């Protein structure tokens, strides 16, 4: 996610169950080096620095539930500081990479009573089912609990066409839902989501847009509304949710829905 975060930040500055699940034994590692990108791709052309928001908008932004997302490149997150409502941790990438800090982050997020989510960084050059099973195996090993969120971070095409990338995302998301009963979040930049999100509006949207104040972003087509807005990357990637913590948990794992 950090790679995307740098692209987003630079552009803005410049202008404006699972209990029985096992990973496939023949899963080969991805040919790509693990990504350090924050969940997005490139900032859309309308991502110039926003004009000063009216005071009521600023107050609304402050009232939205706050969260951070992390990977092995993030250190020193204060999960118990009292200001966070949710935390999201990178679990896997491709077919063979596991984030070294996932298990520790996953445990600490829960220990501090936060809504927690796990994300997978996808590579469309690989088999989507193998990638999904790799992710689910890692999450199952760390412990999947009621209310836990699952996410697909898709911000690269790997040279595939728009149609192929879209079909890949659908297959990954469908497989995860069939295995867990969870409609996983789709994460990407505003522009990448609009370009490759056809037919995915039924999945919750986690959108990166650094050219907008927290919570002041409109959803890209085909979504009618976003659920999480990643608005900045400083010490960590910062997010707000338009849903309260209990509502977020309602989008997570529920054993009775399997």
> How far, in Å, CA of 24 to CA of 130, rounded?
7
CA distance from start to end of the chain: 30
Scanning 24-146, the segments in alpha helix (DSSP H) are 55-63, 102-111, 128-142
Burial call 20-47: b when 16+ CB within 10 Å, e when fewer: eeebeeebeebeeebbbbbbbbbbbeeb
Q: What is the pLDDT of residue 61?
A: 57
Burial class, 54, CB count within 10 angstroms (exposed 0-12 / middle 13-18 / buried 19+): exposed
Q: What is the pLDDT of residue 74?
A: 87
- Nearest one of 10, 86, 74 to 36, comparing CA atoms: 74
* pLDDT exceeds cutoff 90 at 45: no
Q: What is the pLDDT of residue 115?
A: 98
- Greater model confidence, 37 or 174: 174
- pLDDT tens figures, 157-199: 999 999 999 999 999 999 999 999 999 999 999 999 999 999 9
Active-site annotation, residues: 69, 155
- pLDDT tens figures, 48-99: 333 333 444 444 556 899 999 999 988 788 898 889 999 999 999 999 999 9
Residues 226, 240 contacting (CB under 8 angstroms): no
> How far, in Å, CA of 75 to CA of 3, rounded?
16
Model confidence band, residue 22 (pLDDT cutoffs 50, 70, 90): very low
Apex 235 CA angle, 233 and 236, nearest 5? 55
Task: State the SS3 of 171-208.
Answer: HHHHHHHHHHCCCCEEEEEHHHHHHHCCCCCCCCEEEE
> How far, in Å, CA of 8 to CA of 68, rounded?
16
Q: What is the pLDDT of residue 6?
A: 46
Asked which of 39-43, 97-101, 242-246 is least confident by mean pLDDT, the reply is 39-43
Mean pLDDT for all residues in the chain:
83
Q: What is the pLDDT of residue 41?
A: 35
CA 71 from centre of chain: 11
pTM for this prediction: 0.80
Overall average pLDDT of the 10-32 stretch: 38
3 state DSSP class of 227: coil
Cis peptide before 222 (omega within 30 of 0): yes
* pLDDT exceeds cutoff 70 at 244: yes
Residues linked to residue 41 through DSSP beta bridges, in sequence order: none
- pLDDT tens figures, 79-91: 988 899 999 999 9
> How far, in Å, CA of 224 to CA of 240, rounded?
17
Rg (CA), the chain: 17
Residues 90, 1 contacting (CB under 8 angstroms): yes
Overall average pLDDT of the 222-243 stretch: 96
* pLDDT exceeds cutoff 50 at 46: no
């Amino acid at each position: 996610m950090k790679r995307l975060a740098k692209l987003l930040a630079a552009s803005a500055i410049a202008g404006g169950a699972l209990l029985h699940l096992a990973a496939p034994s023949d899963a080969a590692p991805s040919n790509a080096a693990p990504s350090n990108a924050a969940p997005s791709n490139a900032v859309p052309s309308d991502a110039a620095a926003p004009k000063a928001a009216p005071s009521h908008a600023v107050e609304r932004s402050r009232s939205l539930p706050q969260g951070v997302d992390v990977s092995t490149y993030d250190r020193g997150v204060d999960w118990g500081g009292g200001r966070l409502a949710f935390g999201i941790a990178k679990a896997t990438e491709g077919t063979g990479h596991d984030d070294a800090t996932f298990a520790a982050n996953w445990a600490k997020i829960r220990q501090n009573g936060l809504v927690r989510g796990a994300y997978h960084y996808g590579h469309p050059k690989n088999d989507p089912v193998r990638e999904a099973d790799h992710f689910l195996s890692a999450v199952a090993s760390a412990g999947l609990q009621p209310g836990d969120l699952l996410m697909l971070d898709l911000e690269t095409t790997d040279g595939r066409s728009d149609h192929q990338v879209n079909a890949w995302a659908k297959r990954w998301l469908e497989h995860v839902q069939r295995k867990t009963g969870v409609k996983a979040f789709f994460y990407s930049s505003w522009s990448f989501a609009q370009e490759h999100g056809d037919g995915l509006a039924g999945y919750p949207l986690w959108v990166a847009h650094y050219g907008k104040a927290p919570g002041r972003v409109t959803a890209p087509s085909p979504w009618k509304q976003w659920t999480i807005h990643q608005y900045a990357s400083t010490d960590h990637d910062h997010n707000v949710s338009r849903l309260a913590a209990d509502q977020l948990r309602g989008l997570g794992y529920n054993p009775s829905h399997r």
